[in-house]
Structure 1
Amino acid sequence: MGGSSLLPVLGLALLPSLGNLLGVALAEWRKPPEWLVGGALHAAAGIATAVAAIELIPRSQERIETWLLVAALFVGAICSAGIAKATRAIRDRIGSATGRATTWGAYAAIGVDLFTDGLMTGGGGAVARELGLLLALSQVAGNLPGGFAIAADFCSAKIPRGKRLRALAIYPLLPVIGALVGYVVLAGAGPLLTGFVLALFAGLLLIATIEDIVPEADQPKAKRRISSPSFALGFGALLLTSAYLGE
């Protein structure tokens, strides 16, 4: 399949923020059990790993030499570390300015993450319609805990409900902006740039999964009989979805 047009890609970019909004709704309703949070995050890790292994790396291999693919993975890993460092700096700076480091700082950090999600969705959608869809879907489950956490932080800080809901309403715009940037970069790009960027996205996903999602998933101490099948279920669900969309 070829790349999608811009408007459908921007529509897909709303899916990453859907995970956050579902987490917000859950926090406004009730706190989920820890085993469920841990299981959901392990499933998200399985999905992200499958996207990199099944979709991004093979598509990159079709376009560039293996040594360049490895270099792009390394660049993606560096970018992932840079994004993590930048989000921590934003969280600390905004938090120190407002006196609530764990609230508005965390809010800004999640916004950066959503922009990055949109960037990958837009770039993937410019390459192939099904790739943009898979990248967008893969981020829904992974963003749910972040939405829950920031909404819970807002409640703990006793921020009025109207104010926190207005702040959270900005989230859906961020992945759309990121998707626009990603689409402009890869729409009509040659195989060298496309393959390099797809491998870079794979590096971003893999490092974020290993360094961020998995440690966070282990914090609720979900039992192995829950976490391991959840990871396999997430990986398998993405594999089946990829096979179905590729038909």
Structure 2
Amino acid sequence: MGGALHAAAGIATAVAAIELIPRSQDRIETWMLALAIIIGAVGSAGIAKATRGIRAHMGSTTGRATTWGAYAAVGVDLFTDGLMTGGGGAVAQELGLLLALSQVVGNLPGGFAIAADFRSAKIARGSRWRAFALYPFLPVIGAFIGYVVLADAGEILTGFVLALFAGLLLTATIEDIVPEADQPKAKRRISSPAFALGFAALLLTSAYLG
């Protein structure tokens, strides 16, 4: 699992470095790009704080509430991922596809963890299925909103939002995915090549899609 998460971190880093930031540089001044990345990083920290707050609030009650708190936190992440994917797709179809790829890979571990939490909390199967049925709609709604915002946007707004997405993605990768990837204590000879392979895979995919 540690190696897979390091690969996911490599993919996400590559999306920001190879796709988002260069496309933003083509549209806005460097100072504005830097400002947007910082704002994106702050936004990522705010989202992380909100999801931790949900978990902590629910965790102070009952065991099942803790599980539902984690479920809600993942839902917030999925909606945010949808915003980035839809916004990227409005700029270029291949960018939306690459963002979607990075988000799917990055969210798989969280999805498996929530499924395990629901089973361990002995939540009825019907309730589990109804809860999980909502998940696919959250990124779709987010993607629709992101697409509408950037579909007819000017160059400055588009460049600023792309840099904002880069800040969100880079911060979430460094602060969330990498620490989670290190928890299984994967050996360096596995984790480092996995990160590089993820980055290289996205680089090649970007080159051939472009």
* Shorter-normalised TM range: over 0.9
Residue aligning to 1:189: 153
Q: How many residues align?
A: 210
SS in 2 for 1:221: coil
- 1:103: how far off? 0.7
In 2, Cα distance between equivalents of 1:80 and 1:86: 10
Q: How does 1:18-33 map to 2 (within 5 A)?
A: none
Cα-Cα RMSD: 1.1
Question: What residue identity is the alignment partner of 2:91?
Answer: V
Query: 2:190: which partner in 1?
Result: 226
- Look up the SS of the partner of 2:134 in the other structure: coil
Instruction: Report what 2:169 is aligned to.
Output: 205
1:63 aligns to 2:35 (yes or no): no
User: What is the alpha-carbon distance in structure 1 between the residues aligned to residue 30 and residue 42 of structure 2?
Assistant: 19
> In the alignment, what sits opposite 1:132?
96
Amino acid at match of 1:233: L
TM-fit CA distance, 1:165: 1.7
1:105 maps to 2:69: yes
1:50 and 1:203 map into 2 onto residues whose CA distance is 13
Tell me, yes or no, if structure 1 residue 75 matches structure 2 residue 39.
yes
Aligned to 1:5: none
| TM-score calculated relative to the size of structure 2 | 0.97
In 1: Cα distance, 2:12 partner to 2:65 partner: 29
Aligned partners of 1:46 and 1:233 also within 8 Å: yes
Picking from 150, 153, 174, the partner of 2:138 is 174
**Corresponding residue for 1:242?**
206
Shift of 1:97: 5.2
Stretch deviating more after TM superposition (107-116 or 92-101):
92-101
Q: Which residue of 1 aligns with 2:115?
A: 151
> Unaligned 5+ residue runs, structure 1?
1-36
Specify the SS of the correspondent of 1:102: helix
* 1:31 matched residue in structure 2: none
**How many angstroms does 1:96 deviate by?**
3.9
Matched, 1:121 2:51: no
TM-score by length of 1: 0.83
Shift of 1:111: 0.3
**Residues 88-97 or 162-171, more deviating:** 88-97
How far residue 161 of structure 1 moved from its aligned partner, in angstroms, is: 1.8
